[in-house]
């Protein structure tokens, strides 16, 4: 990747989003649902028109009111899902009575209709869809589960993305992005973590995808499982360390910002003041770590991951230490200010 482009995408406050997809075809959706989600999908009508039908919205729609004849607020541009409720309504009202309403529905440019729970449409309805070139597919999956999976897939396809410069590593299940100026040693720290049994996600260029309220980090197609070590060159992590050393996606949970030691720089020494960095509108906990010769960044990265896990489980070592100090200060009001050992009696242990 061009060095100038990498410099442009480094500062988090100046991140440029990657243009999101404007649409996907129904053909692409069906292929991915079958391939990625292993869904059983059977074509019922007008499969040949899938290439011309475009999906532009992440939401899905159940056309209950439209089948009842009310189409003033019909969101026809969304994927239409006909489940048990709609099928039983057609059966209850009668096929003939609903034909006019269904014919009215087919006059809208609907991208695709899915029949869930192995529900079926009458042949006359399928002929209307065929005539209007609206694809109709059937799946045995229950409606709520199907809608959840399809919506999640669409949110991923239309998600906001950006690129950042750094190294992304999975440390004890915590996604840590190591950032800092070029040449400061991000890749070397990531490689050392891999050697200690952790997993690299991406080196140098990281693609961040915003899904719901989280950020998912992944490599590009070119740099996946490759690392650049200055003075050594390109390293293929998967070939060298095996499949256990890589993964292709991980949630971003902590940013580890490396910087050169500067005496004038303020450094947090207690951990009580938690800094965050806003990335695509999501606040990510950030650790600013000044480095000096001899400092073991790899071990510190492991401690950062474990400390993050402890906080998630409700234990904060900084606050616990602060509480101990406050209790000791309070107790000194009634006792003489003498520093006490942690152990009252050594017994016979003289080691």
269 catalytic residue (yes or no): yes
Residue range 335-348: mean pLDDT, rounded = 66
Question: Looking at per-residue confidence, does 159 or 349 come out higher?
Answer: 159
61, 165, 199, 247: the catalytic one is 165
35, 269, 335, 341: the catalytic one is 269
Q: pLDDT tens digits, residue range 126-138?
A: 999 999 999 999 9
For the chain, how far is it from start to end, CA to CA, in angstroms? 58
247 catalytic residue (yes or no): no
199, 204, 210, 225: the catalytic one is 204
333 catalytic residue (yes or no): no
Number of C-alpha atoms within 13 angstroms, CB side, residue 141? 20
Give Cα separations from 221 to 1, 162, 224, 226 (angstroms).
12, 15, 6, 10
Pick 160-312's CATH classification: 3.40.250.10, 3.30.413.10, 3.40.50.300, 2.40.50.180. Answer: 3.40.50.300
53, 186, 198, 250: the catalytic one is 186
Q: Look at residue 6 and tell me whether its pLDDT is greater than 50.
A: no
Q: Where are the domains of the chain?
A: 24-156, 160-312
Domain 24-156 fold is 3.40.1390
Q: What pLDDT band is residue 348 in, cutting at 50, 70 and 90?
A: low
Task: Tell me whether domains 24-156 and 160-312 share a fold.
Answer: no
> Helix, strand or coil for residue 130?
helix
Q: How far is CA 225 from the centre of its chain?
A: 19
Q: pLDDT tens digits, residue range 274-290?
A: 888 889 888 999 998 88
204 catalytic residue (yes or no): yes
Q: Look at residue 3 and tell me whether its pLDDT is greater than 50.
A: no
Q: What pLDDT band is residue 326 in, cutting at 50, 70 and 90?
A: confident
Output the pLDDT for position 295.
85
Query: 10 Å Cβ neighbour count for 21?
Result: 13
Q: Look at residue 268 and tell me whether its pLDDT is greater than 80.
A: no
Output the pLDDT for position 8.
39
Q: What pLDDT band is residue 337 in, cutting at 50, 70 and 90?
A: low
Q: Look at residue 10 and tell me whether its pLDDT is greater than 50.
A: no
Output the pLDDT for position 5.
39
* pTM (two decimals): 0.76
Give Cα separations from 69 to 93, 98, 214, 285, 339 (angstroms).
12, 8, 40, 52, 82
């Amino acid at each position: 990747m061009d060095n100038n482009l990498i410099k442009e995408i480094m500062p988090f406050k100046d991140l440029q989003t990657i243009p999101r997809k404007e649409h996907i075809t129904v053909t692409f959706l069906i292929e991915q649902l079958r391939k990625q989600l292993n869904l059983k999908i059977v074509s019922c009508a007008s499969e040949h028109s899938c290439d011309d039908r475009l999906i532009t919205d992440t939401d899905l729609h159940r056309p209950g009111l439209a089948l009842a004849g009310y189409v003033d607020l019909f969101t026809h541009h969304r994927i239409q899902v006909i489940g048990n409720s709609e099928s039983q309504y057609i059966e209850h009202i009668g096929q003939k009575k609903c034909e006019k309403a269904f014919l009215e529905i087919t006059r809208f440019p609907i991208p695709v209709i899915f029949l869930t729970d192995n529900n079926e449409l009458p042949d006359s309805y399928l002929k209307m869809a065929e005539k209007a070139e609206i694809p109709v597919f059937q799946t045995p999956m229950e409606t709520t589960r199907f809608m959840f999976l399809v919506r999640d897939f669409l949110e991923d396809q239309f998600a906001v993305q950006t690129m950042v410069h750094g190294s992304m590593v999975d440390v004890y299940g915590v996604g840590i992005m190591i950032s800092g100026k070029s040449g400061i040693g991000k890749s070397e720290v990531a490689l050392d973590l891999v050697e200690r049994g952790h997993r690299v996600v991406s080196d140098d260029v990281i693609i961040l995808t915003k899904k719901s309220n989280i950020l998912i980090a992944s490599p590009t197609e070119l740099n996946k499982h490759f690392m650049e070590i200055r003075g050594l060159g390109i390293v293929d992590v998967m070939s060298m360390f095996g499949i256990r050393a890589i993964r292709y996606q991980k949630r971003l949970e902590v940013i580890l910002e490396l910087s050169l030691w500067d005496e004038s720089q303020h450094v947090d020494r207690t951990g009580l003041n938690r800094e965050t960095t806003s990335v695509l509108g999501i606040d990510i906990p950030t650790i600013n770590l000044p480095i000096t010769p001899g400092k073991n960044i790899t071990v510190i990265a492991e401690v950062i991951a474990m400390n993050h896990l402890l906080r998630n489980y409700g234990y904060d070592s900084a606050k616990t230490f602060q509480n101990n100090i406050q209790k000791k200060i309070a107790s000194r009001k009634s006792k003489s200010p003498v520093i006490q050992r942690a152990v009252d009696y050594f017994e016979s242990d003289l080691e």
